[in-house]
Structures are given as structure tokens and as C-alpha cells.
Structure 1
Amino acid sequence: MPHVLGQNQYGKAETRVVRIYKDTDRHEIKDLNVSVALSGDLSDVHLTGSNAHCLPTDTTKNTCFAFAKQYGIESAEAYGIKLARHFVDDTEPIHRSRIRIEEYFWDRIKTPDSRARFIGSDEIGHSFVRRGGEVRTTEITYDGERVQVISGLKDLVVLNSTNSEFWGYIKDEYTTLKEDYDRILATQVTARWAFGFEGREDEREPDWNRSYAKVRKHLLEAFAETYSYSLQQTLFAMGNRVLDNRPEVDEVRLSLPNKHHFLVDFDGFAVEGLKNDREVYHAADRPYGLIEGTVLREGATAVIPVD
């Protein structure tokens, strides 16, 4: 019995695109990591070796650079949508494109040297420092008719030093964890959210940058304001807050590793009067509990894949 070629795709992964805007003395920077995946009428390139329907991955890389110049990068989403449409609409054998983008943030370097000041501020217009931690993400897919946008962030580390408990759980012969009525709750947030936007000709694109900023704000506020009895409860509160406040978002998927902090036991220390009044903790990086879940707007269909 002959074997059959299954799902397949190809493209150029992790093209680093840095776009500098020098229209004024106060420069702007967009720093992206772009991965392109294409699929369609590509059987021959696998089965016979014919490249007649194959757009070289080097071309997809060059297109990422060219579009950064031709159209600019107002937002990762808008830039990604242009790329996704181009590969399908302008390359006949390609029927579906997926663009994944990570965006890295840069802050301006400030200096007390008045000679380097930029019009009344202490920042230098052309000097930047890479911000650690948080990365903005987006994934755009296009099949010739419908655009699907899933935005997000990762590596956003947050911590509540109180207002968190964990007790009343199942206990069996292997349970050693003690109930805790005042614990540190910390996590490294990976969040993705899907939009109702479908890319129709008569449909206006959301303000992607404003939407990102507001979703991030609501995620952080829900984390901070929720008195937590479990990280699962906090996850739902975070997703729920976004859907309550951002009508353009239909679905929020969160992955929250529990960054465990354990009280250090000073009882064995040969130091008189040394007491740990919930002030000193051991931060354990692994193993860790991993809490994941999706919050959907009523009537919406889940589209964000589970990794």
C-alpha cells in the first residue's frame, strides 16, 4: 500500500527584522523576530523533487525586510497581516500562510549630561537599552478569505507578596504539602488572545497597539486585585477581566507556571532568636505547578491551539 503525504508546510524561521525610524532626532525602533510558514499545492516538491511551486525560503526572508521598509511597522499585527496576505494572494500555489512574530522592547537611555538632552528631557534620542523579560507576540494566519489574529505576551513575571492562600485540597498518603493561609503567589505569564476580526474588506482593523496595552493592563490589574485561593482562580479572573473590558477580544488563553516560594525554616540554625516571620523565602525554579486554561466569550468558538 503506497504511503500518503500528510500535512506539510515550510518557510523561514526567526528572521530578525530591526526597523529604525529617523524622521526626527528622536529615533524610534521596532525589533521583531519573524517566522513564516506556508502551505498549499506543494505535493510535487516532496514527491518528485520539482520546485516549480516552491517559493524559496530566502525570498520569504527578503520579503520580511522589504515590507519593513515599504510599509513600515506600525504594529506587529498590521505588519504580519500584510505579509500573510501577500504570500497567499500573490503566490498562486500558496493557499495558507502563518506569520508568527515576537517583538522585543527597548527603552531610551537617559543621562544627566545637558549636552545630550533631547528638547527638554534627559533622554538621548538615539540611544536605547533592551528591556528584559516581557516579549510581545502575535500569530496571523490567512487562507485567502479569512484572517485570524492571535496576539499575546510571554515572560511577564508578576508576584503578590500576600493575599493568597492554598488549603482544603485532596490529601492522600503521598501528600506532604502544608496548608497555607498567607503565601507568596508568583508566576511567569504567557497569554494569548484571539480577536473577532476576520479581515473582511469592509472591516476596520483594531488599534493593535492600544489593544495590546489595554489587555496587558487588565491582566496585571486582575492579578493584583484578586484575593487568590488558587492560581486557577486567578487565571479565570485575569481572562474574565480582559473579556469584560475589551470587546474586540473573544478568547484568552493563559499559561501560568507557579513560581513557588517556600518559607525558610530557621529552626535548625544555631542562631538565638532567629525567627522567620514570613520574611525570608527560598525561590524554587523547578519542578513547578503549571496552570493553564482558556476563558471564552459566551458564544465564541475556541481557536487558540493548546501547545
Structure 2
Amino acid sequence: MPTFELGPNQYGKAETRLVRVERAAGGDRITDLNVSVALRGDLAASHLTGDNAAVLPTDTQKNTVYAFAREHGIAGAEGFAARLAEHFVATQPAIHEARVSIEEYPWSPVDAAHTFRRDGGEVRTAVVHHGPYGTQTVSGVKGLVLLKTTGSEFHGYVKDRYTTLPETRDRILATSVDATWRGLEGCPDPAAARAALVEAFADTYSYALQQTLFAMGSRVLQRCPEVVEVRLSLPNRHHFLVDLAPFGLDNPNEVYHAADRPYGLIEGVVRRDGVEIPEEVAWTF
């Protein structure tokens, strides 16, 4: 007779949409968040027998997010996530670990009072793990679209019988940056880290997107001394020069086909040398 056991498990309220308006005489301020909570602990009974005595309803978790936004305000995504994670562990005896993940959507004022414009594309991220191991904060950005029209080459690569890609000494380099960074203590300044990513992409003469990745991660570590590790995922948004010769036209690097798929995906981690980084808390899903 086969036997079975319950493996790692968690539960929580995913994607609670929260918009908080701070009213002020000099003009309002909007904070727009998507908050997900995941809890772990002594929860086997709910899976094995349906005993919910240790289960804090996910609806209660949602209500807690809204109530904390009113009672405590939102002093940055990282601080808000940490406050929530610590609350769930401190108030629920059966809960030993909490993870709060936040996406923050940027808005810019149109006038000096009450009108805003949603800035497209880019999203700020923050993930806080809290449990017996302490608190770990990982900040980041996703969907940061960058493009440079020159200052990039690609040549000298391996060629075999299936290679058709021509070498180039001048190409468009474009990507949509997903990046996270963390420090051993405190919350790194997300604005400074983002600025370092953009600056390194712009001023690095690139012979490969891999080289640009390392330059971007290194620049964050240079500019943000509290950061110890940067993780980057860079899809190569290919722009292929269109052959206009059949129409009797030249194409001096002016007309391109922007291909959305398939795409090269370059990923890597840049770490501060000589600093011991503890293993990241393993949440398997």
C-alpha cells in the first residue's frame, strides 16, 4: 500500500490591488500597489484533514493590507511589505514565515493638484521574506525598456553549418530589463539602483549583451554600497536591418524590422567580491 506525505506548502492572498491617495494642500500623491502575501507554518492539518483551526483566511489578509495602508501609511514598498510580513508572523502562532511581494506602478502629476498620468511599462518590485532567519529585502524593477541606436557590435562568435546570422559592427541594442538587488542590511535606494542600470547601459560600448549585463550589475554595486548582489534578466529585443536592395534602395542603418520573438535571453548575477552572502530563503513556488 503506497503512502504519501505533504511537501512544502504555502497559502495567501495574491494580487490585492491598492491605491492610496495622500491628500495635501500642495497637491495629492498617489501610491499604486499590487500586493501578494504568502504564509508558511504549521498548516498540515488543513491539507490532510480539512482542519482550519490554524488558517487565517486570505480575505483577512486582504483586509489587513488595506487597513495597514490607512493606519500606518505607505513609506515605500519595502517598508510596507516588511511591516505586513512581520505582523503576520507575530500575530499568528501557527505562521513561522511570511513573504510579501509588491509591484508598484508609477504615476506622474499632470498639474499641481489632482491630475495624474500613468507612466507606461516599467514596474517597481519589492519582496520581503520574514521568519526565523530574520528579514530579507529584495528590490527591483521589471519591464524597464532600453534601446541604443549605435555603440553596439556582435561578431567573433561560434559558427557551424546552421549559422546564418551575419556579423555586425554597428547594430541597435535593445532590451527590457528585469533586475533585482539586495543588501545584507537596510533597503537600498531603488532610484539610485535604477539610475545606475540606465547609465551603464547608455555609456557601455557593447560587444555583447552579456558584457552589458555585467557592466549594469557592476555599476549598481559601485553606486549603491549597501547592495551586495544584482540579478539581471535581459531579453535581446532584436532589430534586423531590412534588405531594401530588391526595391533599388540602400539602407544605411536606418530601416529595421523589430522582432518580438524568438529572442535571445541573457541572464546573470553580479556579486560584490569578498562579501559572504547567505543563501536566499528557498520558496519553491
Is the pair's TM-score, using the shorter chain for normalization, greater than 0.5? yes
Report the number of matched residues: 281
What per-residue deviation string (whole Å, max 9, x for no partner) do you get for residues 219-249 of structure 1?
Answer: 0010001000000000000001111121111
- Matched position secondary structure for 2:51: coil
In structure 2, the partner of 1:227 is 205
* Greater CA drift, 17-26 or 222-231: 17-26
Superposition pairs for residues 53-68 of structure 1, below 5 Å? 53-68=54-69
CA distance in 1, matches of 2:198, 2:192: 10
- Residue identity in the other structure for 2:243: D
Does 2:121 correspond to 1:133?
Answer: yes
> Which SS does the other structure have where 1:33 is aligned?
strand
Residue in structure 2 matched with residue 24 of structure 1 by the alignment: 25
C-alpha displacement of 1:144: 3.9
Deviation at 1:145, TM superposition (A): 4.7
| Structure 1 residues 71 and 285: alpha-carbon distance in aligned structure 2, compared to 1, 3 A threshold | same
Give how far 1:6 is off. 0.2
Query: What does the per-residue CA deviation read over 1:2-39, in whole Å, with 9 as the maximum and x for residues that have no partner?
Result: 20000000000000011110132400110000000000
Give the unaligned 5+ runs of structure 2.
none
- Separation of aligned partners in 2, 1:167 and 1:25: 55
1:141-180 matches, within 5 Å, as 141-180=129-168
| Structure 1 stretches of 4+ moved >4 Å | 304-307
**1:267-282 alignment to 2 at 5 Å?**
267-269=245-247, 272=248, 274-282=249-257
Which amino acid is the alignment partner of residue 234 of structure 2?
L
Q: Distance in 2 between matches of 1:186 and 1:144?
A: 42
Q: Does the Cα contact within 8 Å between 2:33 and 2:103 map onto a contact in 1?
A: yes
1:262 aligns with 2:240: yes
1:290 corresponding residue in structure 2:
265
Q: Any conservation in 2 of the 1:228–1:234 contact (CA below 8 Å)? A: yes
Task: Give the SS at the match of 1:59.
Answer: helix
TM-score (norm 2): 0.95
Deviation per CA, 1:236-292: give whole Å up to 9, x if none: 0000111112111110000000000000100111xx4x2100011110000000000
1:51 partnered with 2:52: yes
1:161 Cα deviation after fit: 0.6
Q: 2:103 maps to what in 1?
A: 102
**1:139 partner letter:** V
Task: Name the stretch that deviates more: 62-71 or 144-153.
Answer: 144-153
**Equivalent pair of 2:42/2:94 in contact (CA under 8 Å):** yes
CA contact (8 A) 2:129 2:281 kept: no
Which residue pairs with 1:253 in the alignment?
231
Aligned amino acid, residue 102 of structure 1: E
* CA deviation after TM superposition for structure 1 residue 108, in Å: 1.1
SS at match of 1:254: strand
**What is the distance in 2 between the residues matched to 1:144 and 1:106?**
36
- Cα distance change, pair 304–105 in 1 and its aligned pair in 2 (3 A): farther
Cα deviation, 1:55-79, whole Å, max 9, x if unaligned, reads 0000000000000001101100000
Instruction: Answer whether contact 1:25 1:126 (CA < 8 A) is retained.
Output: no
**Alpha-carbon distance in structure 2 between the residues aligned to 1:240 and 1:47:** 48
Distance in 1 (CA, whole Å) between partners of 2:233 and 2:281 is 12
Contact residue 194 and residue 303 of structure 1 kept, 8 A: no
Distance change in 2, residues 1:42/1:49 (3 Å) = same
Cα-to-partner distance string for 1:156-215 (whole Å, 9 max, x where unaligned): 100111110000000000000000000110000000011112xxxxxxx44x5xx10000
Write the letter of the residue equivalent to 2:46.
Answer: V
Equivalent residue for 1:71? 72
Query: Are 2:280 and 1:303 equivalent residues in the alignment?
Result: yes
**1:182 corresponds to which residue?**
170
8 Å contact kept, 2:26–2:112: no
Partners of 1:145 and 1:303 lie apart in 2 by: 10
The percentage of aligned residue pairs carrying the same residue is 56
